[in-house]
Amino acid sequence: MKMKNITISDIAEKLNLSRSTIDRVINNRGSVAPETKRKILDYIEKINYKPNRAAKHLSKRTSCTIGISYYLPENFAAQIRKGINDVYNELQAYGLNLIIKEAGSAEEQEKQIKQMQTEIDGLIVAPWNPKNLTELINEFIEQDLPVVTFNRDAPESKRLFYFGCDYFKAGRISGEIIEKITSKPGKIAIISNEDDLVGKKRVEGFYSILKESSIHKIIGPYTIYDHFGISDSYTDKDIDYIKKIIEDNPDLKAFYVVNQSLYLVAKVVKEMGKKDQINVIGFDLFDKFIPFINEDVIEAVICQEPYSQGYFPVRILFEMLAEDREIEKSEYITRLEVVMRENLKYYNDYHYL
Amino acid sequence: MKMKNITISDIAEKLNLSRSTIDRVINNRGSVAPETKRKILDYIEKINYKPNRAAKHLSKRTSCTIGISYYLPENFAAQIRKGINDVYNELQAYGLNLIIKEAGSAEEQEKQIKQMQTEIDGLIVAPWNPKNLTELINEFIEQDLPVVTFNRDAPESKRLFYFGCDYFKAGRISGEIIEKITSKPGKIAIISNEDDLVGKKRVEGFYSILKESSIHKIIGPYTIYDHFGISDSYTDKDIDYIKKIIEDNPDLKAFYVVNQSLYLVAKVVKEMGKKDQINVIGFDLFDKFIPFINEDVIEAVICQEPYSQGYFPVRILFEMLAEDREIEKSEYITRLEVVMRENLKYYNDYHYL
DNA sequence: TTGTAAGCGTTATCAC
DNA sequence: GTGATAACGCTTACAA
């Protein structure tokens, strides 16, 4: 049970040098004679020395504060929070501090980020409106304040990396599923709202699959606005609108819904007794969706590792800040998870830590 | 950037006591006057003191050695290894040592585990033959050597916990998928081999779904032995056998393959030009499967987080051994991942660390 | 029952 | 360019 590892002192002793000299070459600070440097480097290589992380953390006694900003639907935010919570519990002992700001609008988000600037050593942001935040992100970067994006990217900014899903590919996998489960020729209706950047990509990806050689005809996109899933904000007009699509298209075989109105579409399909004729496919796992997935009204949803989106950006950024981790990718793309009735419970609130 | 945290010394000073007394009540070792104990506990509660993990690790300088034993198909083992590798890199600095033994047979596995006994502080094992290892596991436990299982459980043993998938549920999700993608009535052929415990459960789960109200008729199980995916070990007889199933059953709509012969089945289906008429579903992601998934010969495979199966058991056991983590579950069940053409690349060799 | 002091492997601040 | 030396916050003898 006793630890027996090579330490800086061992190296110093072996090489007849002082600990500080070894430290200098390992962390290349201060100046060292090139000859001694070589000697030390060679020896370190040879014995495969690994610095003790605990000692490092203890000695540095440097804490870093990471700011997190997002404006996301509540159910999704809950999963993100769980990931953030776990990584915080894991790393706060090593000096991680977090400032979490949940915005209620794009404008508020911008304001909150500006406010954080002086208090943080790094920023993690899910930019609701990437274009508008690009400049701000670049400003931070200019000032040596690292910024990473998650959930939504700001690809034109100089952010260090993006952690999140590829929405175009998400559209493709849902297209694949619809093709596989919809064997009879007929129509597929797309539901979205135009000002939804994410939804737009999901639709494009979907088209890219269906275009290839489909026996189906795409109709729409029909517009239903989602209001972050607050059910009361859907009107009777929305319901009638969906009903009308179904009635007007007797050969309708599927709904492809890229926003949270998925819940409403499922409700109408179910109430009209059309669940066996019309396949419903959508995205993400919201509480409201769950009964419909269980009843096979919604055939499948595509998820994007929300928990990981909370956990990893914090961890990677912290390791960079506190342990000089190298960022090796500019994009960490999350898995596209196919969630159906029988594997639903594994995706609804699940983690191991 | 400077850390400013409450330490044991702070508490000691505030309460006019020595550091060791504080230490005694925090880790309840040694004896402390109940009155002082109360006082300390109250104060700690009040100021929300969290011990510094780095200091703890450094001071304890206790390393622990965990033994890992498995006998698994190579492709699967590769993913496991990646998880183990990541967690090792993460924790070796805190004193984790690993002894990894890959067995070539059930007997060898038993021998290897016995050999490890004296060198390890905990054992992680994927028991190829759970029944045979139950006694050995219990022996270890009697001797206060914690044992956990992964990938395959030994439910009748006293192992601390199991980390892996629920094979019955895995059968159910594949049943759900076959039902969803196979719209025309017809036959579904099951391929398995009887001595495969895992496959047996997958078949049971599959039946539990199909029984309910299927338009399909199940035929088989037909027996094809897999030899851990060494393709050369399949014979021409196996190929003829599959061909015969297809020829004898013109209304065959799907193959449900619970072992690695999935590759061979896909090959035959493809070569007979039946890929559009017959759906092929199986388990896990082996290199040989990949081209067939990409060509839509294999419609989907169900995976079980192989990477996590390497990563988490080690991490949880280490945290228990080195940091007195409480084990709160007796089963950590991995997700059932639906992998198809368009999300394949995310499951084939992917991780964030 | 309580206190003292040495040590864990780094980093940082001085001297030389 | 190099070497002492004092932290960092905790554990663990050992002494009182």
Single pTM value for the model: 0.92
CA distances from B79 to B48, B82, B171, B284, B343 (A): 40, 5, 22, 11, 17
Q: Is B97 on the interface with A (CB under 8 A)?
A: no
| B chain contacts of residue A308, beta-carbon cutoff 8 Å | 352
H-helix or E-strand spanning residue A291: helix A290-294
pLDDT reported for residue A1: 53
Q: Is B303 on the interface with A (CB under 8 A)?
A: no
Q: Is A340 on the interface with B (CB under 8 A)?
A: yes
Residue of A nearest to B181 (CA): A181
> For the domain A64-165+306-350, what is the CATH superfamily, name and number?
Response regulator (3.40.50.2300)
Asked whether residue B1 carries a pLDDT value surpassing 60, the answer given is no
Q: How far apart are CA A94 and CA A61, in angstroms?
A: 8
Asked whether residue B207 carries a pLDDT value surpassing 80, the answer given is yes
What mean pLDDT is predicted for residues B262-288? 96
Helix (H, G, I), strand (E, B) or coil at A273: coil
pLDDT reported for residue B191: 97
Strand D proximal to B59 Cβ, under 7 A: yes
pLDDT reported for residue B231: 65
Going from N- to C-terminal start, the domains of chain A cover 8-58, 64-165+306-350, 167-303
Question: Shortest CA distance to A261 belongs to which of A235, A226, A233, A236?
Answer: A226
Strand C proximal to B181 Cβ, under 7 A: no
Q: Min CA distance, B348 vs chain A (Å)?
A: 10
Helices A197-213 and A167-181: crossing angle in degrees, nearest 10, is 40
The C-alpha angle A348, A345, B163, rounded to 5 degrees, equals 105
Question: Shortest CA distance to A255 belongs to which of A200, A194, A187?
Answer: A187
Token pair recorded at residue A187: 């129509």
Strand stretches in B43-102, DSSP E: 64-70, 96-102
CB–CB contact B94 A181 (8 Å): no
Helix (H, G, I), strand (E, B) or coil at B62: strand
Q: Is A343 on the interface with B (CB under 8 A)?
A: yes
Q: What is the largest CA-CA distance in chain B?
A: 88
- pLDDT by position in tens, chain A (length 353): 555 678 888 888 888 888 889 888 988 887 888 888 888 888 888 888 888 888 888 888 777 899 999 999 988 999 999 999 999 988 887 888 899 999 999 999 999 999 999 889 999 999 999 999 999 999 999 998 999 999 999 999 999 999 999 999 999 999 999 999 999 999 999 999 988 999 999 999 999 999 867 899 999 899 999 877 666 778 889 999 999 999 999 999 999 999 999 999 999 999 999 999 999 999 999 999 999 999 999 999 999 999 999 999 999 999 998 888 889 899 999 999 999 999 999 998 778 88
pLDDT reported for residue A60: 81
Q: Which of B4, B56, B58 should we substitute to test contact with A (largest number of A Cβ atoms within 10 Å)?
A: B58
Q: How far apart are CA A18 and CA A8, in angstroms?
A: 9
CB–CB contact B333 A346 (8 Å): yes
| A chain contacts of residue B294, beta-carbon cutoff 8 Å | none
Encoded amino acid at A327, one letter? I
Q: What is the 3-state secondary structure (H, E, C) of chain B?
A: CECCCCCHHHHHHHHCCCHHHHHHHHCCCCCCCHHHHHHHHHHHHHHCCCCCHHHHHHHHCECEEEEEEECCCHHHHHHHHHHHHHHHHHHHHHCEEEEEEECCCHHHHHHHHHHHHHHCCEEEEECCCHHHHHHHHHHHHHCCCCEEEECCCCCCCCCCCEEECCHHHHHHHHHHHHHHHCCCCEEEEEEECCCCHHHHHHHHHHHHHHHHHCCEEEEEEEECCCCCCCHHHCCHHHHHHHHHHHHHCCCEEEEEECCCCHHHHHHHHHHCCCCCCCEEEEECCCHHHHHHHHCCCEEEEEECCHHHHHHHHHHHHHHHHHHCCCCCCCEEECCCEEECHHHHHHHCCCCCC
Asked whether residue B272 carries a pLDDT value surpassing 90, the answer given is yes
Nucleic strand C contacts from chain B, 47-76, CB < 7 Å:
55, 58-59, 61
Q: Which residues contact A73 (CB under 8 A, 6 or more apart)?
A: A228, A229, A260, A284, A286
pLDDT digits (tens, 9 = 90+) for B72-129: 998 899 999 999 999 998 888 788 889 999 999 999 999 999 999 988 999 999 999 9
Asked whether residue B14 carries a pLDDT value surpassing 90, the answer given is no
Q: Domain A8-58 adopts which CATH fold?
A: 434 Repressor (Amino-terminal Domain) (1.10.260)
pLDDT reported for residue A67: 96
Nearest nucleotide to B18, CA against C1' atoms: C3
| B chain contacts of residue A176, beta-carbon cutoff 8 Å | 340-342
Residue of A nearest to B342 (CA): A173
pLDDT reported for residue B229: 65
Per-residue confidence at B3, pLDDT binned at 50, 70, 90? low
What CATH class has B167-303?
alpha beta
Token pair recorded at residue B10: 């702070």
Asked whether residue B223 carries a pLDDT value surpassing 60, the answer given is yes
CB–CB contact A346 B338 (8 Å): no
Q: Please name the residue ranges forming H helices in A143-259.
A: 167-181, 197-213, 236-248
Residue of A nearest to B174 (CA): A342
Helix (H, G, I), strand (E, B) or coil at B129: coil
- Say whether B64-165+306-350 and B8-58 share the same fold: no
| Residue listed under structure tokens 């950590």 | B332
